[in-house]
Amino acid sequence: MRYLSCYPTTLWEKYHQPAVRDLAWMFFAPALLQNTPQHQLDMTSSLERFYAITQWLDQLDQLPQDTLATLINRDAFKRLGLYCETLFEVIATHAPQHGAFNMQLLDRNIQIFKPNTKITLGELDFLLHESSNSSSNSSSNDDPSNNSSDNFSSNTSGNSSDKTDNGLNHTQTHSIHHVEMACKFYLLDNTPRLPFTRHGLDTITPAFIGPNRADRLDIKLNRLNNHQLPLAHSNITQQQLLAQGVIDQAISTPSKLFLKGQLFFYYQTSQPATPYLLINKHALWTHIGQHKHALQRSERSIKHSFEFNSGQSSSGQSKWQVLTKLNWLAGEKADKTRFDNALYADEITQLINDQATRDYTPPILLQQYVRLKAHPKNSDDGCVEGKFIKGHRLMIVGDNWPCFA
């Protein structure tokens, strides 16, 4: 398990416009869970596609803000989940298609009903259509050992083939993909209340709980595995989608999961070793009654970590910003303006104690910014933004979390 020595190298940090940063985060942020039993969607599966995506994002970042808002108006969203779904829709609709893949959005948020009733059985987040082209010699097509597949089309249900004058067969393959997406933020409850092994994830405790206590990782995975992912392949769903003209062929590819977000660990405890979690030791949580100590500990640890890894010292100045819900994804750029507008730990404590605004009522997500004296000699990890870096993220919850009473 690789632990990050500084703020992790992030491909979205070079972008300036918040919506573009969030699109880049959707592409390049690692999946919330690694090596899970579920099929996961990878949108940057080839080097060619990776470069095409970065060039597209570069172009978007240069657009005037009003022009970009016609593609995605970030200010129109209040709910983070709906915003993430819209980011995915923008990607599926407008992102460049390169290589052998051509995936396009068919529909989203499709309700499935029990036949001849208005009873909802569930909802499909996204349906994507993929067409891929391949050319092969006619003799090779007769060889049963000549089998090839790509990331998405190993199980296809429709194809057409034309032979040209030069003897090559040009085959176009069509397939339909069902994708369930979610963007989730969970805190590890250090007091196990349920059996440790659940839903095939042997090393994940079920005590990953949302900051508002209404969501839990094991329950989410259970619903995905037993209901949401299989739903697309039921006879009722297939017949409804065909009858409505949403699809023109059966869905035969495995349903895929697109799960992003962040896992937070209690600031005073060690983190579990597990192949399913991509650990970022700079995502921490604390109860509000301990937040002052957590802020102090975070400032000491990020300073020592930086000095150990770079041989340079920080200025000793560390400040914090309260992140609005939409900034829980890529967040804002680390620069002088952001640092100047951020608050010192004592100021954060004062506002929390005064409950000055709703922004200072739990759950609160804080982003740490650190000012450096100089660039480190070894900056290969890409963590330096001018003379400023991002440090910890600290989630503050109520003292009775995860209990409701």
The mean pLDDT values, 10 residues at a time, for the chain of 405 residues are 39 93 93 80 79 93 95 94 95 76 84 94 93 54 36 42 54 84 90 47 61 86 92 95 92 91 86 55 88 92 62 68 94 91 94 76 92 58 60 92 72
* Amino acid letter, 107: D
Distance CA 231, CA 234 (A): 6
Q: What is the pTM of this model?
A: 0.81
8 domain residue, yes or no: no
Same domain membership, residue 56 and residue 172: yes
What is the reported pLDDT for 387?
75
Structural domain boundaries, residue 174: 18-140+167-192+213-261
Name the β-bridge partners of 160.
172
Instruction: List % helix, strand, coil for the chain (3-state, nearest 5).
Output: 30, 25, 40
pLDDT, position 360:
76
Does residue 298 share a domain with residue 231? no
- For residue 153, tell me if it sits in a domain: no
Smallest Cα–Cα separation from 302: which of 366, 209, 210? 366
Q: What is the pLDDT of residues 192-211, one digit of tens each?
A: 554 444 444 444 444 789 99
User: 124 lies in a domain?
Assistant: yes
Residue 232 one-letter amino acid:
A
Residues 134 and 241 in one domain: yes
Is 387 in contact with 371 (CB distance < 8 Å)?
yes
What pLDDT, on a 0 to 100 scale, did the predictor assign at position 315? 53
Task: Verify that 228 and 342 share a domain, yes or no.
Answer: no
User: 343, 321 in Cβ contact below 8 A?
Assistant: yes
Q: Are residues 290 and 247 in the same domain?
A: no
Number of domain units in the chain: 2
Helix axis angle for 18-28 and 47-61, nearest 10°, is 170
**Residues 123-161: tens digit of each pLDDT:** 999 999 887 665 445 444 444 333 333 343 333 345 555
List, in order, residues 6 or more apart from 278 with CB less than 8 Å away: 30, 31, 32, 33, 34
The candidate with the shortest Cα–Cα distance to 14, out of 83, 46, 61, 65, is 61
Angle of helix 80-94 relative to helix 18-28, nearest 10 degrees, comes to 80
93 assigned to some structural domain:
yes
- Is the Cβ–Cβ distance between 17 and 68 less than 8 Å? yes
Is there a cis peptide before residue 18, judged by omega within 30 degrees of 0? no
13 lies in a domain?
no
Q: Return the closest-CA partner of residue 23 out of 52, 53, 48, 63.
A: 53
Task: Kindly state whether residue 152 falls inside one of the protein's structural domains.
Answer: no
